[in-house]
Amino acid sequence: MSGTGMSRSNPRENINMATTWLDISSLYGSSTEVAHGLRSKVDGKLLTLEVQSPGTRAKASYLPFNTMGVPTNTRPGVDPEDLFAGGDPRTNEDWLLLGIHTLLLREHNRLCDILRKQKPTWDNEQLYQTVRLVMSAKHALIANAYQMAYWTEDMPWPRDDGFPLYRQMFGENALEINPANTYPWPLVTKNGKPMTVSAEMAFVYRFHEFTIPSFPIKDQNNETLWEQNLFDTSFNSTGFLDVGLERILAGALSSDIPNFKSGVESFRSAGLYRGRPFDIVVSSIVHEREQGLPTFNQYFRTYNAQDPEVFIPIRDTWDKFSTDPEVVQNLKKLYKHPDDVDLVVGCQLDEEYFPGTTVPKSALIISLFSLFGMGNSDRFSISFAMTRCLLVDRPWDCHPSNALEDLIWERKDVPGFPNFRFYSDFWVKELDLPAHGANLLWRMITENSEINCVQRSPLFPPYNDTNPILCSREAGTVSSLAILFNFFQIALSLLKRGPYSFIATVIITVGSGILAIMHYGGRKSPVRRKARPEALSCP
């Protein structure tokens, strides 16, 4: 912002126009102008460029070129109109990022086709806005599966609902912190307002970038054609089309992604970024100091004073930062006292993992405070949608408040209950809710590309024993124990509202269910007669 960044008392500020919700603004944009520019205005779909790439059987959708002039980053010598148009200015920064954006584009349009068949009377606007909410829900569920991918067997049960990290953080059990909540949830609001990204997370979490220096380009037989330098792919949209999504995805799926210390690797710290020399470590430290963030020890002294369940030892001597003698010597050269070590530096040197994960403890704690709030303070959250007609309304008198809830809670024909709704079998499976989104990334790849077989967890390279390649994957199922526990969580939430609410919900839901069975069971099905066999033809 103009007039800022002049001194330590006047730190540099940026006007961040990107939304803080998990709403896939990277695909749709964060402004009305960008969102409208990316839409086809037909059947709710987004604009596409139809291309048949090498090694594929048919044309497929890619992002359109930026002829509509949406804001986009570029590098010297590259015209913005020669780049793809996306919701985020960083869309074209490398082929891996473009691959994800292309998958999201295809998924949006695929869902539009599905919804248009289900809702033939809906207009373009209804289709677009509803699919956008569904895509946001899928994004949140994939994010849940992503965090679960870093859990170990030591993560406390129950693991399926995605909340054990936060139960450890707040020292609560599964009956206190679980998905059975209504909007607004006090735990994830701040002064009555939804939580947003914290300043410390903006610096610490930026180091966790799934950026690899190179990756293989593979053909349809999974044979490596060549090794591609990732940074050479920046702002090269025509090259992306020439290679094709399938070859790029196949290579990415076979690659090891860096761990949470990826930001301090030599290739990322002092390499070329957008075609220019850039040191992300120095940049982060400068920004941290300009924003007036506390040092590592200052931050965690304040954190520990709140008596948390997960404690962070204070590094009051140099050797407590690292077991590497060379690192210790470098710290002594750069800082006068252990209390001077910057927050991001201390987090990157952390050698202790958060319980039940493979993520450094201090970095995950800083991320958790923001991510937990961001994912659960939005009224369009998938968890609120799933409990709408149980905790806010009741199944026999359900009134969805948005299009996502309207899809999930399908209207049922129950005599005497004109507003009776229950879970839609189709959309529960489409959102992979029984498996909490664990299958969504696998399905997004196989349903939107010519890649038919992908390892069980696309976040990690394939291994025969632990991460086998699957050519089909059924929707996740829920164990009887998990169903029973979910019932207890919902029952507890109802009891907190009063015993009468709980008793009435159980009685009327069971009663209306019996009426529905009687209603449908009483219908006479048309008699199906066996067709008369045709004369068999001989060869």
- Enumerate the known binding-site residues: 208
Cα separation, 181 vs 159, whole angstroms? 18
Six-digit token pair at 465?
A: 């024993």
Angle between helices 480-496 and 499-521 (to 10 degrees): 130
Peptide bond into 54 cis (omega under 30): no
* Helix or strand (DSSP H, E) at 533: none
- Interior angle at CA 51, CA 49 and CA 53, nearest 5: 140
- Report CA torsion sign: 143, 149, 152, 157: positive
Nearest to 353 by CA among 345, 361, 364, 362: 361
Distances (CA, A) of 102 to 91, 201, 342, 415, 455: 10, 28, 38, 46, 20
Q: How is 304-343 classified by DSSP, letter by letter? A: HTT--SS------SGGGT-S-HHHHHHHHHH-SSGGGS-H
The SS3 assignment for 411 reads strand
Q: HSE (CB half, 13 Å, CA atoms) of 485?
A: 17
C-beta atoms surrounding 220 within 10 Å:
14
Binding residues for heme b: 208
Assess whether the previous peptide bond of 338 is cis (omega < 30° from 0): no
Give CA–CA dist 372/189, Å, rounded: 10
Report which of 417, 464, 470 is spatially closest to residue 441, judged by C-alpha positions. Answer: 470
SS3 60: strand
